[in-house]
Chains A and B, each alone.
Chain A
Amino acid sequence: MPNANRTVFPNLVLKWNGADITDDMMNLEWSSQVDLIEKSAGQETRKSYIAGRADDDLTLDFAAVGTAAASGGGTVERLIYTGATGTLEWAPYGTAAGQPKYNLPVMVQQVTRPFKHYELGVLKAKLKPNGAWVDNYDVSGDVYP
């Protein structure tokens, strides 16, 4: 493996319902997994499994924007609140033609708001799928045109 091929995602883009919220994101984590259904039986001495339904978990951390409460907080806070639904689109390597594209309808399950004294406010939102994937590079090879 002669060539290092690491990345720090300098061109990542994140959108909520098409609106670019990249600047105020601090972290995005996407976890994808499948349920396991045991298929071992009878005299078998070791368990084995088949794949059940797939599921996704997303955690989005974003900076709280210091806007007066009367106007509803920061831009991202007004978009992403408990119970809100929307499409989350992310481009880990940017939106240039041919780059991987991910786009998933989600609902906001939980928003955690720490209020640390004189420290940057970072909100943490837990997101769950709210519909079928629109674009998923891993599954269907979707890329930006």
Chain B
Amino acid sequence: MASFPESDKAIYQKLAAAADIVNAVGTVDGLLQVYSDVVPDGATLPYIFFYCVSAPFEMDSPRDTTDELWTIEAVAASRAAASSLEDDVISTMHKATLSDTGWQNYYTAVIGRQRQTFIADRQKYFHRMLEVRVRWAKNT
């Protein structure tokens, strides 16, 4: 029975284990400000927010494998803080090895980035968006 790896959990665990990231984003209500899919109300800058862009099964061999593209956004109130947090994410994720029971992560790399800045209620939100490619092979 085919299944997908829990990449969101694996990415969170990798980011949450990085001291520089933990120190930069801090916690709100005791929860680290590294969010998957949705940024909750009450989050304070800076924070990290990540989501899946695509995650197809490759179907090029009998073994189940996925080739996934995730975006990890470092969001901060200043350009410098956003860039610093972006560097922390790159150093944590580029050529990293993620963990998920039943799967082998043989490829994780930061393969691109984008930048956007939003202003809302006089607050600037500097977004550093990193495209991260994650490939898994299922253990048998």
Contacts and interface: CB of A to CB of B under 8 A. Distances in A.
Given A66-B106, A118-B107, A120-B107, A26 B95 contact: no
B23 interface: no
Interface string B120-140: 000000000000000101001
Interface stretch (B8-16, B41-49, B56-64, B69-77): B56-64
A23 B62 contact: yes
Contact of B109 (A22, A24, A118, A120): A118
Contacts of B104: 66
A97 to B, nearest CB: 21
Contacts, number: 23
Max chain A CB contacts within 10 Å: which of B95, B104, B106? B106
A26 B140 contact: no
A-side interface size class: 10 to 19
A112 B109 CA distance: 26
Contacts of B95: 118
Q: Is the interface of A mostly helix, strand, loop or mixed?
A: mixed
A63 interface: yes
A12 B60 CA distance: 13
A25 interface: yes
A118 B137 CA distance: 15
Contacts of A63: 61, 63, 137
A70 B38 CA distance: 45
Interface in A18-48: 22-26
B99 to A, nearest CB: 15
Contacts of A25: 61-62
A26 B62 CA distance: 7
B109 to A, nearest CB: 6
Contacts of A12: 62
Nearest to B108: A118
A112 B95 CA distance: 26
23 contacts: A12-B62, A22-B62, A23-B61, A23-B62, A23-B63, A23-B140, A24-B61, A24-B63, A25-B61, A25-B62, A26-B60, A26-B61, A63-B61, A63-B63, A63-B137, A66-B104, A66-B106, A118-B95, A118-B107, A118-B109, A120-B106, A120-B107, A120-B135
